[in-house]
């Protein structure tokens, strides 16, 4: 069985010109940068940082954010190198297909489907929760929850998913413009909250910067550090007593806040819809990543400096708004709540786009039914976009998807790892290919990036790994039952021509 067969770059580029299955190029580098900020700056910037401070690293959570940002930024640069060579929909799936082979590309594609489906559903659901919370804070009695006897449904996820699905059906540029306006407002709210928060910062709250490690059972808050199957894999495997703070806390905190950085792999899925992608994709990804790291570091400093990490640890589900409440600035809760509603809305749009483009690329290769990759008169896969929207909305409205949110992290990290490994492989196989961007230090820097991503993966919980392996098992069944037998590469149906995508 030729499960490690690879597509050539020429075959991959030629697919973008297939009639009825090509996407329209309308996006600029700024659109991509804003798209990256839109998907990365959601509720996480207001909540995840406080949880890392309280239950993992104390003030050293600032280092957790820095570690996660550097790892994610380095991995994203690997994406940028591939996108400058192969500006085609599919992101890590497409890149892996040209280097490591079909079976690994399928695994990554399957992971990306899991990541974006779960993320889209989770974020859509929480958008409804935060919308209702914002309405409550503003004194409104309105509510998006409907009850019919024993049947309960929240219509908010249906509304937000339907809104962005319609925009994306009529053109990626239209959706990107609306998303961009909302993202600018969101950034303004984040910066406003940070500036105000600096007035409450006290130097004493940064001491000790790295609190001494202590058993997880000693934590006094109502959300103690995880134990058993919920503790990090490496702690479970080594028999280490679950602990918080210290150096282990910084690392587990980095694995937690990594969730706040995800999304830039989604930006790479829009490469096929970008004008002059060899220039604009690396530029857009780089500018967006820089904006994210600066904002997250500022939020981490403010959260840590406003109140003691012990005070945050004593609170149920601490967040940035919790810090403002503890210093008596209750008014900030309303602004933060509005920022979260805007933030989550923009995340939903980018995840809907990314999920659709990954399925589109896999379908165009024949590993999923080819009918899914048909594009309409607007240059978008309208039927697939609608189908994805319906699935995401139903999962968000009807199911409790919160327990699967960690699956987003492990899916992203696995994709990052393989893309990093693929960089030196492609440099060796095709040194002749033009690259408008090159990650420095090949092969050692990409391999270090892969190792860093693997380290963050083993800092995820044992239960997350069990669920991840179960998802992979289902994926292998689908591949060998359908994908392998219908692969266009295996059937010799792919062309060999190369298109000029320089402008």
CB 303 within 8 A of CB 310: no
More confident: 203 or 44:
203
Q: Looking at 144-153, 381-390, 480-489, which range is the least confident one?
A: 144-153
Model pLDDT, residue 481:
95
**Average pLDDT along the chain:** 81
Whether 212 shows a pLDDT value over 50: the answer reads yes
C-alpha to C-alpha distances, 215 to 6, 55, 452, nearest whole angstrom:
49, 11, 25
Model pLDDT, residue 497:
44
Going by pLDDT thresholds of 50, 70 and 90, the confidence category of residue 400 is low
Q: Which residues, other chains included, contact 45 with Cβ-Cβ below 8 Å and sequence gap of 6+?
A: 190, 260, 295, 296, 299, 320, 343
| Eight-state DSSP code of residue 241 | P
Q: How many other C-beta atoms lie within 10 A of the C-beta of residue 132? A: 18
Residue with tokens 């309405």: 135
More confident: 150 or 452:
452
pLDDT tens digits, one per residue of 317-345:
677 777 888 888 778 777 877 877 887 88
Model pLDDT, residue 297:
82
pLDDT tens digits, one per residue of 458-486:
877 888 888 889 999 999 999 999 999 99
Whether 500 shows a pLDDT value over 50: the answer reads no
Phi, psi torsion values for 396, nearest 5 degrees? -65, -40
* Mean pLDDT across 53-65: 86
Going by pLDDT thresholds of 50, 70 and 90, the confidence category of residue 122 is confident
* Mean pLDDT across 296-319: 83
Q: Which residues pair with 214 in a beta bridge?
A: 244
Model pLDDT, residue 172:
66
Going by pLDDT thresholds of 50, 70 and 90, the confidence category of residue 354 is confident
* Mean pLDDT across 127-156: 79
More confident: 145 or 42:
145
Going by pLDDT thresholds of 50, 70 and 90, the confidence category of residue 42 is low
Whether 369 shows a pLDDT value over 70: the answer reads yes
pLDDT tens digits, one per residue of 244-262:
788 888 887 887 777 677 6
pLDDT tens digits, one per residue of 371-386:
888 887 777 888 999 9
* Mean pLDDT across 54-76: 84
Domain ranges of the chain: 23-486
Q: Which residues, other chains included, contact 403 with Cβ-Cβ below 8 Å and sequence gap of 6+?
A: none
CB 244 within 8 A of CB 225: yes
Q: Residue 179 is encoded by which pair of tokens?
A: 């998303």
Percent of the chain with pLDDT over 90: 11
Percent of the chain with pLDDT over 70: 89
More confident: 457 or 369:
369
Three-class SS state of 457: helix
Model pLDDT, residue 402:
54
Whether 77 shows a pLDDT value over 90: the answer reads no
Q: How far apart are CA 179 and CA 381, in angstroms?
A: 19
Whether 234 shows a pLDDT value over 60: the answer reads yes
Highest mean pLDDT among 35-49, 120-134, 253-267: 120-134
User: Taking CA 267 as the corner, what is the angle to CA 300 and CA 408, rounded to the nearest 5 degrees?
Assistant: 60
CB 368 within 8 A of CB 110: no
3-state SS track over 329-369: CCHHHHHHHHHHHHHHHHHHHHHHHHHHHHHHHHHHCCCCC
pLDDT tens digits, one per residue of 417-463:
888 898 898 898 888 888 878 888 888 999 998 998 888 788 778 88
Range 23-486: architecture per CATH? Up-down Bundle (1.20)
More confident: 165 or 224:
165
The secondary structure of the chain in percent helix, strand, coil, rounded to multiples of 5, reads 70, 5, 30
Whether 30 shows a pLDDT value over 70: the answer reads yes
| Eight-state DSSP code of residue 315 | S
Q: Which residues, other chains included, contact 146 with Cβ-Cβ below 8 Å and sequence gap of 6+?
A: 152, 153, 154, 155
């Amino acid at each position: 069985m030729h499960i490690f067969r690879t597509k050539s770059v020429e075959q991959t580029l030629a697919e973008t010109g297939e009639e009825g299955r090509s996407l329209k190029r309308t996006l600029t580098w700024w659109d991509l940068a804003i798209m990256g900020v839109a998907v990365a700056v959601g509720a996480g910037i207001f909540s995840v940082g406080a949880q890392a401070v309280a239950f993992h690293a104390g003030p050293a959570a600032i280092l957790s954010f820095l570690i996660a940002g550097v790892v994610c930024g380095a991995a994203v640069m690997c994406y940028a190198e591939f996108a400058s060579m192969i500006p085609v929909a599919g992101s890590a799936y497409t890149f892996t297909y040209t280097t490591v082979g079909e079976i690994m590309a399928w695994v990554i594609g399957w992971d990306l489907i899991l990541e974006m489906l779960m993320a889209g559903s989770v974020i859509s659901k929480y958008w409804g929760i935060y919308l209702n919370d914002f309405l409550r804070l503003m004194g409104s009695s309105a509510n998006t929850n409907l009850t019919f006897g024993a049947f309960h449904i929240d219509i908010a996820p249906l509304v937000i998913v339907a809104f962005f699905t319609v925009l994306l059906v009529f053109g990626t540029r239209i959706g990107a413009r609306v998303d961009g306006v909302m993202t600018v407002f969101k950034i303004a709210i984040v910066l406003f909250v940070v500036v105000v928060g600096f007035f409450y910062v006290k130097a004493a709250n940064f001491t000790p910067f790295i609190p001494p490690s202590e058993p997880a059972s000693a934590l006094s808050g109502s959300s103690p550090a995880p134990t058993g199957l919920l503790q990090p894999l490496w702690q479970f495997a080594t028999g280490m007593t679950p602990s918080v703070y210290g150096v282990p806390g910084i690392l587990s905190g980095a694995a937690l806040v990594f969730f706040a950085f995800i999304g830039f792999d989604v930006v790479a899925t829009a490469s096929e819809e970008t004008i002059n992608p060899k220039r604009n994709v690396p530029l857009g990804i780089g500018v967006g990543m820089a904006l994210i790291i600066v904002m997250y570091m500022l939020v981490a400093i403010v959260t840590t400096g406003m109140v003691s990490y012990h005070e945050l640890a004593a609170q149920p589900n601490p967040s940035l708004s919790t810090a403002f409440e503890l210093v008596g600035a209750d008014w900030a809760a309303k602004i933060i709540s509005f920022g979260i509603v805007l933030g989550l809305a923009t995340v939903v749009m980018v995840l809907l786009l990314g999920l659709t483009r990954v399925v589109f690329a896999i379908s165009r290769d024949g590993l999923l039914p080819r009918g899914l990759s048909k594009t309409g008169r607007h240059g978008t896969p309208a039927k697939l976009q609608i189908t994805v929207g319906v699935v995401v909305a139903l999962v968000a409205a009807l199911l409790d998807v919160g327990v699967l949110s960690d699956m987003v992290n492990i899916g992203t990290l696995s994709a990052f790892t393989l893309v990093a490994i693929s960089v030196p492989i492609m440099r060796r196989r095709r040194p002749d290919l033009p690259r408008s961007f090159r990650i420095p230090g090949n092969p050692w820097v990409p391999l270090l990036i892969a190792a860093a991503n693997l380290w963050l993966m083993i800092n995820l919980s044992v239960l997350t790994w069990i669920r991840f392996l179960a998802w992979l098992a289902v994926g292998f069944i689908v591949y060998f039952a359908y994908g392998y037998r219908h692969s266009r590469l295996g059937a010799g149906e792919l062309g060999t021509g190369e298109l000029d995508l320089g402008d």
